[in-house]
Amino acid sequence: MLKLEKINTFYGPIQALFDVSIEVNQGEIITLLGANGAGKTTTLMSICGVVPPLSGKIIFEGKEITGLSTDKIVSMGIVQVPEGRLIFPRLTVLENLEMGAYLRRDKKGIKKDLEYVFNIFPILAERKNQKGGTLSGGEQQMLAIARALMARPKLLLMDEPSLGLAPLIIQQIFDIIKMINKENKTTIFLVEQNAHQALKIAHRGYVMENGRIVMQDSTENLLNNEDIKKAYLGL
pLDDT number for residue 231:
83
Q: What is the pTM of this model?
A: 0.89
Q: What is the pLDDT of residues 26-60, one digit of tens each?
A: 999 999 998 888 999 999 999 999 999 999 999 99
38: left (phi over 0), alpha (psi -120 to 50) or beta: alpha
Domain boundaries, the chain: 2-77+153-233, 89-151
Question: How does DSSP classify residue 231?
Answer: I
Distance in angstroms between the alpha carbons of the first and the last residue of the chain: 34
CB atoms within 10 A of CB 50: 15
Name the CATH superfamily, with its identifier, for domain 2-77+153-233. Answer: P-loop containing nucleotide triphosphate hydrolases (3.40.50.300)
Q: What is the pLDDT of residues 183-218, one digit of tens each?
A: 888 999 999 888 888 999 999 999 999 999 999 999
